Amino acid sequence: MPDKPRQYLALLTEYDGSAFSGWQIQPRQRTVQAVLRDAIRTLTGEDIRLTGCSRTDAGVHARGHVSSFSACSRIVPEKWPLALNSVLPPDISVQAAATVPEAFNARRDARGKIYSYTIWRPAARPAILRRTCAHVPGRLDLDAMAGALPLLLGRRDFRALCDAGSPALTTMRTIQALRLISRGPLVTLYVQGDGFLYHMMRILTGTLLAVAEGKLTACQMTAIIESGDRRKAGKTMPPEGLCLEHVQYQPAVFGPWREPVKEEGEWDVHVALE
């Protein structure tokens, strides 16, 4: 029988980060990378190297996480999701698999990411949705929050929106688009950028919420960013509200991002670079 062919694959994975200590493998911790790698080893018998597009933190979720690896297997790409999901735990699901060039690297080749952050507004805390949103009771001025969105667009130094401990060589990043949707008890912020710093999305959300709560003005947003001073920005929001929605590649590996469709009666603001 001929040897099994070597495949070079990318996986599109959804996971509930509540019971994980983040994506990256850590000693004596349950991580997404370790669980997914072990599932691949169960199917192939190989100790493969699995590269992830992003090192999501403990408690952070993903709908569109991409990872890449190579292995010798006769499983055809379209059957990999079914095979992996048969051995993965319920809080991880492989949505799709695709053949990629040998040199493809899910982290290095990423051209941008889209994250969302979801907030629960009512006074009573949520029960069913407690793992996928942050509880922020009280009045929020969404018009003021929306007014600050354009001030975040473009390429700039986002050091003020980065917590200590970032391994990034530079704090320069480009935010290409932001969208704010109010849907019933939920408010969701979507941000598209060429990359994100350590806790950047959670601090960005916390700073916008400070505007919505009247603790900061929209005009102060530019000054905060230009200061480079983390102490002037808003708080780091809890991880459960954060979700990695989509990773962009050129050419696309798993197609374009499917944006949320605006429903009748929803409040929706969208700003983007021209």
Catalytic sites, residue numbers: 57
Contact 191, 204 (CB under 8 A): yes
Cα 274–Cα 155–Cα 11 angle in degrees, nearest 5: 85
HEC sequence for 75-115: CCHHHHHHHHHCCCCCCEEEEEEEECCCCCCCCCCCCEEEE
In DSSP terms, which residues pair with 149 in a beta bridge? Answer: none
Alpha-carbon distance of 153 to 150, in angstroms, equals 5
Q: Say whether 249 sits in a helix, a strand or coil.
A: coil
Residue 180: both structure tokens together: 């704010």
**CA-wise closest residue to 146 among 274, 272, 273, 268:** 268
Alpha-carbon distance of 251 to 253, in angstroms, equals 6
Amino acid symbol at 220: Q
Secondary structure tally for the chain: helices H, strands E: 5, 11
* Largest CA-CA distance found in the chain, in angstroms, rounded: 70
